[in-house]
């Protein structure tokens, strides 16, 4: 079929509506996560946990942090591969979990990982026995019996038990049952996961692509590979081109009718890990927004702050909020408000109202420095 033709404004509005960031706020936490498909389980607390920021930016004043904690405790949400997901989505991963690739079937880092797990099979079995006998444990509480160390140029180098647990999670053998601060508590998967059906692997992969596109509105079919959660959608949806942007996109046909409807936006303060802008290339192409998460940069080289929060106004990303939670001082400290475009009085008032509500969520008082 011929590609749909979209303006940049069309593409932005598709993405915003798909991510539940237009004026029509959702009302239910679980339905929101189902639409978004996942919440990244990042535990940086410079402002607030990523999952709390994402849910608050959608649900607004009615959201309380205990609502997320309750959904996790009740197993309506489960942690899988570093993301909180609706428990029923486990059915889309079970077939992949049970498949055991043979030598030569995989390539690149996947084959290296398969060989490493195979070389440390005794360690894998020791971990299963430890959890069977002792119950939930963090990685550092489990003895390391790996014969071959995990080698990496990054922070995972020699983190043998942690890496083995993550590969065992992909195999459906262990699961995250809780968190002890930032540390994951692991247990046997059969004691954590709810009973679900098993969707055949090709169908499951296609359904994950379809759900990802429905949550993003517009995405590329292929692109840079992300090792945990893809940002691409394969053959899902229908082709489209966006004026002024090279290449073909995929769009969710269920959202096409909304392009003809009047768009009503709002002001939202977003997590740096929000899926609206997590794919930085897509963000730059569609929103023409200059942004980087600067927590890993030296302070002198930061333009916007350690954990600056992007600001959405209407259908544009218009600035960044440099904020920091100071629980001991009972303060949400606002270091700076960076305006990418000159803010009107109404825009400043809308951002101020969101800042006040974020402080309400965190139980803090606002202080503008």
CB distance 250 to 39 below 8 Å:
no
User: Is 231 part of a structural domain of the chain?
Assistant: yes
Domain that holds residue 301: 267-368
User: Is 190 part of a structural domain of the chain?
Assistant: no
User: Is 246 part of a structural domain of the chain?
Assistant: yes
Q: At what angle do helices 108-119 and 160-170 cross, to 10 degrees?
A: 110
- C-alpha 171/C-alpha 156 separation (Å) is 19
Q: Find tokens 């709810």 and name the residue.
A: 194
pLDDT digits (tens, 9 = 90+) for 104-143: 888 888 899 999 999 999 999 999 999 999 999 999 999 9
| 148 and 276, same domain (yes or no) | no
Q: What single DSSP character describes residue 303? A: S
Q: Last residue of some domain: 212, 233, 260?
A: 260
The pair phi, psi for residue 355, each rounded to 5°, is: -60, -45
**What local confidence, expressed as pLDDT, does residue 215 receive?**
97
User: Is 189 part of a structural domain of the chain?
Assistant: no
What tokens appear for 338 in the block? Answer: 């960076």
User: Is 56 part of a structural domain of the chain?
Assistant: yes
Q: How many domains in the chain?
A: 3
What tokens appear for 76 in the block? Answer: 């309506």
**SS3 helix, strand, coil % of the chain, rounded to 5?**
40, 20, 40
Q: pLDDT in tens for each of the 369 residues of the chain?
A: 899 999 999 999 999 999 999 999 999 999 999 999 999 998 888 999 999 999 999 999 999 999 999 999 999 999 999 999 999 999 999 999 999 988 888 888 889 999 999 999 999 999 999 999 999 999 999 999 999 999 876 677 778 999 999 999 999 999 999 988 889 999 999 999 999 999 999 999 999 999 999 999 999 999 887 777 899 999 999 999 999 999 999 999 989 888 888 999 999 999 999 999 999 999 999 999 999 999 999 999 999 999 999 999 999 999 999 999 999 999 999 999 999 999 999 999 999 999 999 999 999 999 998
CB distance 201 to 96 below 8 Å:
yes
Mapping DSSP to helix (H, G, I), strand (E, B) and coil, where does residue 4 land? strand
User: Is 178 part of a structural domain of the chain?
Assistant: no
| 158 and 39, same domain (yes or no) | no
| 105 and 162, same domain (yes or no) | yes
User: Is 193 part of a structural domain of the chain?
Assistant: no
């Amino acid at each position: 079929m011929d590609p749909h033709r979209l303006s940049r404004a069309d593409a932005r509005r598709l993405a915003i509506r798909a991510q539940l960031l237009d004026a029509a706020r959702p009302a239910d936490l679980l339905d929101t996560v189902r639409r978004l498909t996942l919440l990244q389980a990042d535990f940086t607390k410079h402002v607030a946990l990523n999952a709390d920021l994402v849910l608050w930016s959608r649900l607004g004043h009615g959201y309380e942090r205990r609502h997320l904690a309750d959904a996790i405790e009740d197993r309506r949400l489960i942690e899988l591969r570093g993301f909180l997901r609706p428990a029923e989505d486990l059915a889309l991963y079970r077939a992949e979990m049970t498949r055991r690739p043979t030598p030569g079937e995989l390539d690149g880092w996947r084959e290296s990982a398969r060989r490493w797990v195979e070389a440390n099979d005794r360690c894998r079995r020791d971990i299963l026995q430890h959890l069977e006998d002792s119950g939930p444990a963090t990685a550092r509480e489990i003895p390391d019996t790996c014969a071959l160390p995990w080698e990496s140029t990054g922070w995972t180098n020699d983190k043998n038990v942690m890496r083995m647990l993550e590969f065992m999670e992909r195999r459906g053998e262990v699961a995250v049952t809780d968190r002890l601060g930032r540390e994951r508590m692991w247990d046997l998967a059969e004691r954590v996961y709810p009973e679900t059906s098993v969707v055949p692997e090709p169908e499951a992969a296609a359904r994950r692509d379809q759900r990802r596109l429905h949550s993003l509105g517009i995405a590329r079919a292929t692109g840079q590979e992300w090792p945990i959660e893809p940002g691409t959608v394969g053959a899902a949806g229908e082709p489209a081109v966006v004026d002024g942007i090279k290449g073909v996109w995929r769009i969710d046909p269920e959202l096409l009718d909304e392009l003809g409807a009047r768009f009503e936006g709002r002001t939202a303060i977003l997590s740096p890990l929000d899926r609206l802008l997590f794919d930085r290339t897509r963000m730059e192409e569609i929103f023409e927004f200059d942004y980087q998460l600067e927590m890993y940069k030296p302070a002198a080289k930061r333009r916007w702050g350690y954990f600056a929060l992007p600001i959405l106004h209407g259908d544009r990303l218009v600035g960044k909020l440099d904020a920091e939670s100071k629980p001991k001082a009972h303060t949400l400290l606002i270091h700076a408000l960076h305006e990418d475009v000159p803010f009107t009085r109404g825009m400043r008032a809308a951002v101020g109202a969101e800042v006040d509500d974020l402080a309400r969520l965190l139980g803090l008082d606002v202080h503008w420095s």
